[in-house]
């Protein structure tokens, strides 16, 4: 039997790692769907209806799997982290309840209209439904990130002891809910979602464009894919640089508010100034593989880079080392490597966007087979970047579940037995592998099937649009 604390932590890690894929898909797709719906109604061009219908199917499947996995997360606070829920519930439960009432309700009810109601409701209500769905996905993120950011930079509360239990009492709602971390986290997350979906769209479109233009396959409605590729590239060109610039500010904020996490991100064990930023780094002793220490490192570093990052421009700045904290460090290797993968991916996405833009500007967007291969290979990397980003955030704050207030080990349900926790953990591993396999399979089928053909489209007036006008829209 695995220890209930360890099993609960692994189970929670697994559920969040799997769950995050689906809200990222929904949040990222939402602005695209609103745009497609608007263009479909305004221009009556069939290409937009095809785009809207194709990406709505992917949205709908992602939403269902997201609901199933998200409900599990909400329950797990009670089942596995009852002590945390009792202690922090007064402050932490509110945002979860409001997410349900304010955001999830909006999204789920109007999704019914958005998926099934194109022929049943007016254009105006249909367009409003697309906005309601999009707003719902984004508001969900607001409340969830309010709850999460409070755990990172807790404010606006006091600790009292009731019946022998430490309870967090809310004293200043504005300070608590608009805590310092929230804006950084929200911008970084939302932009990441849109960027990830743009990459995914670009990858899917590149597959068809590549087969048609490079390999010469006849592809039905190739204009849909050409348009998708262009829209995705425009969005990528905006979101990719923004993500890195904002991420840099976020990292500085972390070094100020969670110095232990920052030290783990940089694997700085002893307080030092003029700390280099290691691009890659390996311990010289194999025993330290899971415990990297800078002094033993063999690596390539930018002199003073980490100090510069932490202070916002001063390469001489001092960084507090992990040894100087009273609590045990988080698993440094995981945080260190996850951070590096995220940053490297962030720069790669900028390169991809610029590369694509350059080819487009030269009029060769549909001819560069290497670019298409790179886009196809990168189609899921946005999701990978989100995953490793969350690993930095969540593993990096260990051993704290609420930074400086409550340790994760103290948050686990006291009544939970090792047998129960091990049993459900095994169930989750099996169930989630099946679920991910099923999701990948279904999304793969939807992509291979492509958008509905023009004959299947519901709007009869679509037939009246002259072919030349369709082409010129590209």
Instruction: By CB under 8 A, name the binding residues for other proteins.
Output: 57, 60-61, 63-65, 67-68, 70-72, 74-75, 77-80, 82-83, 85-86, 88-94, 96-102, 104-106, 108-113, 115-117, 120-121, 125, 169-173, 413-416, 420, 423-424, 427, 431, 435, 438, 442, 445
Cα 45 to Cα 48: distance, rounded to the nearest angstrom: 6
**Sign (positive or negative) of CA dihedral 197, 203, 209, 213:** positive
- C-beta closer to other proteins: residue 176 or 240: 176
Separation CA 39–CA 293 (nearest Å): 55
Phi-psi region of 147 (alpha: psi -120 to 50; beta: other; left: phi over 0): alpha
Q: Which is nearer to other proteins, 91 or 392 (CB)?
A: 91
Is 402 strand, coil or helix? strand
Smallest distance from other proteins to CB 399, Å: 21
Nearer to other proteins, 92 or 308 (CB): 92
Least distance between other proteins and beta carbon 165 (Å) = 8
For the CB of residue 57, give the shortest distance to other proteins in the complex, in Å. 8
Beta bridge partners of residue 360, listed in sequence order: none
> Closest separation between CB of residue 110 and other proteins, Å?
7
The structure tokens 């604390």 sit at: 5
Nearest approach in angstroms of CB 342 to other proteins is 30
Choose between 312 and 418: whose C-beta lies nearer to other proteins: 418
What token pair was written down for 167?
């309870």
Residue 388 and residue 343: Cα distance in Å, rounded? 10
Residue 342 or 443 having the CB closest to other proteins: 443
Burial of 289 (0-12, 13-18, 19+ CB in 10 A): exposed
Q: Which is nearer to other proteins, 164 or 218 (CB)?
A: 164
State the nearest-atom distance from the C-beta of 352 to other proteins, in Å: 31
In a 3-state reduction of DSSP, which class is residue 129? helix
Q: State which residue, 75 or 325, has the beta carbon closest to other proteins.
A: 75
Element (H, E) at 351: helix 332-361
SS3 of residue 329 by DSSP: coil
Three-state DSSP class for residue 191: helix
Name the minimum Å distance from CB 60 to other proteins.
7
What phi and psi, each to the nearest 5 degrees, are found at residue 320?
Answer: -70, 130
């Amino acid at each position: 039997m695995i220890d209930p604390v360890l099993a609960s932590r692994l189970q929670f890690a697994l559920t969040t790692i799997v769950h995050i894929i689906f809200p990222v898909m929904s949040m990222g797709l939402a602005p695209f769907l609103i745009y497609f719906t608007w263009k479909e109604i305004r221009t009556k061009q069939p290409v937009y209806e095809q785009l809207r219908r194709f990406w709505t199917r992917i949205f709908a499947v992602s939403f269902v799997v997201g609901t199933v996995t998200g409900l599990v997360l909400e329950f797990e606070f009670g089942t596995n982290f009852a002590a945390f829920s009792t202690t922090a519930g007064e402050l932490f439960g509110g945002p979860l309840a409001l997410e349900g009432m304010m955001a999830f309700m909006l999204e789920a009810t109007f999704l019914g209209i958005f998926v099934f109601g194109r022929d049943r409701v007016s254009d105006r209500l249909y367009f409003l439904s697309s906005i309601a769905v999009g707003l719902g996905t984004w508001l969900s993120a607001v409340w969830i990130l309010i709850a999460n950011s409070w755990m990172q930079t807790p404010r606006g509360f006091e600790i009292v002891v009731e019946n022998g239990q430490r309870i967090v009492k809310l004293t200043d709602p504005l300070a608590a809910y608009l805590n310092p971390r929230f804006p950084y986290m929200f911008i970084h997350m939302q932009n990441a979602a849109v960027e990830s979906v743009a990459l995914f769209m670009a990858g899917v479109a590149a597959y068809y464009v590549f087969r048609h233009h490079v390999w010469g396959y006849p592809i039905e409605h190739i204009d849909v894919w050409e348009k998708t590729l262009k829209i995705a590239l425009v969005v990528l060109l905006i979101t990719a640089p923004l993500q890195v610039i904002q991420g840099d500010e976020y990292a500085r904020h972390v070094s100020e508010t969670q110095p232990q996490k920052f030290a783990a991100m940089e694997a700085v064990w002893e307080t030092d100034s003029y700390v280099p930023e290691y691009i890659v780094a390996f311990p010289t002793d194999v025993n330290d593989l899971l415990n990297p220490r800078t002094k033993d490192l063999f690596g390539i570093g930018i002199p003073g880079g980490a100090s510069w990052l932490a202070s916002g421009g001063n390469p001489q700045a001092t960084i507090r080392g992990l040894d100087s904290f009273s609590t045990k460090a988080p698993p440094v290797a995981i945080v260190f490597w996850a951070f590096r993968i995220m940053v490297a991916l962030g720069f790669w996405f900028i390169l991809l966007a610029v590369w694509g833009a350059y080819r487009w500007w030269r009029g060769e967007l549909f001819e560069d087979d290497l670019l298409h291969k790179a886009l196809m290979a990168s189609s899921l990397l946005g999701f990978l970047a989100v995953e490793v980003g969350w690993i930095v955030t969540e593993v990096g704050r260990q051993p704290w579940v609420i930074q400086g207030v409550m340790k994760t080990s103290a948050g686990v349900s006291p009544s939970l037995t090792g047998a129960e926790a091990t049993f459900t953990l095994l169930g989750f591993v099996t169930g989630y592998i099946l679920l991910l396999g099923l999701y990948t399979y279904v999304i793969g089928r939807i992509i291979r099937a492509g958008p509905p053909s023009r004959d299947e489209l519901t709007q009869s007036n679509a037939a009246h649009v002259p072919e030349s006008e369709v082409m010129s829209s590209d």
